[in-house]
Structure formats: structure tokens, C-alpha cells
């Protein structure tokens, strides 16, 4: 599918959803273009200076894939985390912005390598790139083979249509009797099914869990009233809510519930790079560039107070 046809399909889906919601006018492309900059130039991308503490923590024997370059694997999956710009070639979003800031802090040039998400473990282990910055959550199983430097909360969000009577979904009892969309075989499904189990055990109404193949089908189900809420990763839903105003967030849950599973830069186990990356991220938190970059992509809610190396992650189930 070409970029033009993809954009046309997205616009038509938004128009259809607006009609179902009974709104009087659809947001124009000119209006939505001002919410997020998806142009290849990325004039608003922040840069930073070298971080002496992070540089000092770099292991002297670490061999980068290319001298003077931080080679980062990234999966351009969905805005605002990462996607292709309007030229269908340049990768833009929060993760690319963070990668640039970290490279700057280490005094390195940045080279992004777009990959299929499933390919990152083998590619990283085999030395094809220095790090992965692609919305990877910390899990205890992954920590056996990789090191992590956290940079964002891993949140799943409950979103309802803009005029829904639902005001908050914060705990299991809040989903009792609702029709909730989620993803099959995902962490969010695991959480929703456990909440449902607790509700049924307490004598509350069960959840009607709904599954759809793609985001357009989910959006249409929510807009048409076939579903009450969409429970999936927060960032992409926040993007669409900010862009078209059709939905709003009524609650978030950490991806590792009842534990936590933050999102982290991923590096080879024992390479020594993780501590330097953690220091670089904490430097960005201190100088404000981290907060500004989150705000640029409407992800302020997912800010971490500090980066950690290999914190507790999602346990084995």
C-alpha cells in the first residue's frame, strides 16, 4: 500500500467514526498536522551536549559496530513511539528522538537500523547493532540474555469514545459488565482476564472481551458502540486521541501489573554499555531534555523519575 493510499484510508476511517459518533465536523489534515510533526526534517528534535559521567562509564574495551557511531535497531511500528515520516523513509517519533539524545550524550553519531520487531533479540545477540530502542519492556526472562536501561513507563490504557459516560477505569470492579477490546496473547489480555476472574469470584458481572485484527476495526467498534472500552498499549492510543479527538483516556495500568515492566534500552548481556546508557538518560532527565521530548510526542504521562539498570521486570508466569 502506498503512503498516499494509507493516509487516505486512515482519513476515511476517521470520517466514518466521526459520523457514527454524531459529531458535526471532522478534523482536517491541516489541523492534525499541527499536533505531531511527522515530516522528515524534524526541526523540533532536541539535541544535547556530551555527558561526562556517561562517557566515563563507557567500558574502554567496548567495540561499537562502527567507530564513532551508536548503531540502534528500531521497529517503526506506530506513532508516537516510532513510525515513518511523510517521506516513507525517515524514522520519527519519541524513540528516535531519545536515541539521538543518548548518542549526543555519548559523543557519537546516530545510525538507526529499521527492523522487524521479532528480529531484535537475534540481531542484538549477534552484534549487528549496539542497542535496541524500540519499546522493549523489561522482563525477568529477557534479563537472562540482555541488559536494560529504563527510559519510559510501560503503560496500557483504557480508552473510551469521547462522549462515553464512563469516567474512570482504575481497578478490576470498574470493568465489570463492560465490553472491552484487547489484544489476543498480550500482557493486556492477561491483566484483563485476571481482573475478570477476580470480579466473577466476587459475584460481579463478567467482562465481554472482544478481539479485532487491526486498529481500524478497534476504532470502528468503539465508535459504533459495539464496545465500551479499548484496553491496549497507551502510547498509540494517546496519539490517536490527541490527533482526532474521537477517544479519551479513562485509566492506565502498568504493563507488568501487579508488578511493573518499564520500557528500556536493550543491550547485550555483560557488554558494560548499560550503565553508561543509564547515566546518559539520567543526565537527560536532569537537564530537562527528556521531559521536553516526552511532551513533544504527548507522552508526559509515561515519564520515569529516573533511569535504572536491570530493575525488576515482568516475572515469569
Q: What is the pTM of this model?
A: 0.84
Q: What is the pLDDT of residue 43?
A: 93
Name the grid cell of 272: 558494560
Q: Which domains does the chain have, with CATH numbers?
A: 13-37+155-254 (3.40.190.10), 52-154+260-302 (3.40.190.10)
Q: What is the pLDDT of residue 215?
A: 84
Q: What is the pLDDT of residue 26?
A: 37
All residue ranges of the chain with pLDDT < 70 are: 1-34, 317
Query: By three-state DSSP, how is residue 251 classified?
Result: strand
d(CA 194, CA 169) in angstroms, rounded, equals: 15
d(CA 150, CA 100) in angstroms, rounded, equals: 16
- Beta-strand ranges (E) seen in the chain are 69-74, 83-84, 91-92, 109-114, 131-132, 146-152, 155-161, 179-181, 208-210, 229-233, 247-254, 263-268
Q: What is the pLDDT of residue 260?
A: 87
Q: What is the pLDDT of residue 32?
A: 41
CB-CB neighbours of 259 under 10 Å: 12
**What length is written for the chain?**
317
Q: What residues have CB less than 8 Å from 262, skipping those under 6 apart?
A: 137, 138, 150, 151, 152, 153, 154, 304, 308, 311, 313
Amino acid at each position: 500500500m502506498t503512503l498516499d493510499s494509507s493516509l487516505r484510508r486512515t482519513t476515511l476511517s476517521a470520517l466514518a467514526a466521526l459520523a457514527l459518533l454524531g459529531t458535526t465536523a471532522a478534523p482536517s489534515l491541516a489541523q492534525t498536522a499541527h499536533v505531531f510533526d511527522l515530516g522528515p526534517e524534524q526541526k523540533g528534535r532536541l539535541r544535547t551536549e556530551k555527558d561526562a559521567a556517561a562517557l566515563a562509564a563507557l567500558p574502554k574495551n567496548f567495540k561499537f559496530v562502527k567507530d564513532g557511531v551508536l548503531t540502534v535497531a528500531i521497529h517503526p511500528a506506530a506513532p508516537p513511539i516510532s513510525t515513518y515520516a511523510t517521506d516513507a523513509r525517515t524514522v520519527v517519533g519519541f524513540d528516535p528522538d531519545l536515541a539521538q539524545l543518548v548518542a549526543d550524550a555519548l559523543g557519537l553519531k546516530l545510525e538507526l537500523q529499521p527492523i522487524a520487531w521479532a528480529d531484535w533479540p537475534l540481531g542484538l545477540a549477534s552484534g549487528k547493532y549496539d542497542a535496541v530502542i524500540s519499546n522493549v519492556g523489561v522482563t525477568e526472562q529477557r534479563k537472562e540474555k540482555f541488559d536494560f536501561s529504563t527510559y519510559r513507563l510501560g503503560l496500557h490504557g483504557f480508552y473510551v469514545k469521547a462522549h462515553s459516560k464512563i469516567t474512570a477505569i482504575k481497578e478490576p470492579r470498574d470493568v465489570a459488565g463492560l465490553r472491552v477490546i484487547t489484544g489476543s496473547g498480550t500482557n493486556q489480555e492477561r491483566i484483563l482476564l485476571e481482573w475478570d476472574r477476580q470480579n466473577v469470584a466476587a459475584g460481579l458481572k463478567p467482562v465481554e472481551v472482544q478481539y479485532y485484527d487491526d486498529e481500524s476495526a478497534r476504532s470502528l467498534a468503539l465508535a459504533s458502540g459495539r464496545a465500551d472500552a479499548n484496553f491496549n498499549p497507551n502510547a498509540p492510543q494517546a496519539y490517536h486521541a490527541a490527533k482526532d479527538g474521537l477517544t479519551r483516556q479513562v485509566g492506565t495500568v502498568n504493563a507488568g501489573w501487579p508488578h511493573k515492566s518499564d520500557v528500556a534500552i536493550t543491550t547485550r548481556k555483560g557488554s558494560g554499555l548499560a550503565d553508561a546508557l543509564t547515566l546518559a538518560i539520567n543526565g537527560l532527565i536532569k537537564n530537562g531534555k527528556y521531559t521536553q521530548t516526552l511532551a513533544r510526542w504527548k507522552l508526559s504521562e509515561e515519564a520515569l523519575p529516573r533511569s535504572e539498570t536491570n530493575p525488576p521486570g515482568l516475572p515469569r508466569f
